[in-house]
Structure 1
């Protein structure tokens, strides 16, 4: 389960930010997860409490913000929604498309004290 190591990286990043910005407790973490990222949001939530234990995020709430997949279709010259990394344009059937959104995982926001 690679989500465990991803959550560990998120917690480490937050701890570094706490040191830099001098906050002592995190109440809520908003985490963007792209639908094309191969990251399972449910697994991230499951791992979060265990990894957060005895850290600055212990007891914090994890909010997952889902980011839909999007790609640029060079044939239609516009952005189209996609649900898979290997996708055709839903309008014209063109392939390949340039993926523009939905692969990321990033900390969007923190509520801190």
Structure 2
């Protein structure tokens, strides 16, 4: 489960941000995770409480937004969700596509009180 290591890196990043901006308390941390990324949201949620214990983020609410895994068909230019359509264009049936989004993993928002 590599998610735990990633959560530790997020904690470091947020703590550095808080220090630079003189934030004493963070209320909410919002992450965006793409459907096609290697991160599994439920694992992030499961290890988050233990990872933040004793840190500035200890009482922080974690929110995760899932970003769709969309592609564009190279044959007919239809934009579609890869997961919902089994990696096949719903318009022409082609499997020749290019990923547009869905591999992201980022900190979207740090909300201080």
Q: 1:26 corresponds to which residue?
A: 26
Q: Map 1:1-113 onto structure 2 (within 5 A).
A: 1-83=1-83, 87-113=87-113
1:88, distance to aligned residue in structure 2 (A): 2.1
Any idea what SS the aligned residue of 1:100 has? strand
Gaps of 5+ in 2: none
Deviation at 1:51, TM superposition (A): 0.9
May I ask how many residue pairs the two structures share in their alignment? 112
User: What's the CA shift string for 1:30-88, capped at 9, x where partnerless?
Assistant: 1111111131111101111111111111111111101111011121123211118x822
Are the counterparts in 2 of residues 87 and 96 from structure 1 also a CA contact under 8 Å? Answer: no
8 Å CA contact 1:88–1:94 kept in 2: the answer is yes
Runs of 4+ deviating beyond 6 Å: none
Give the alignment's TM-score, normalised by structure 1: 0.90
- What's the C-alpha RMSD, in Å, of the aligned pairs? 1.6
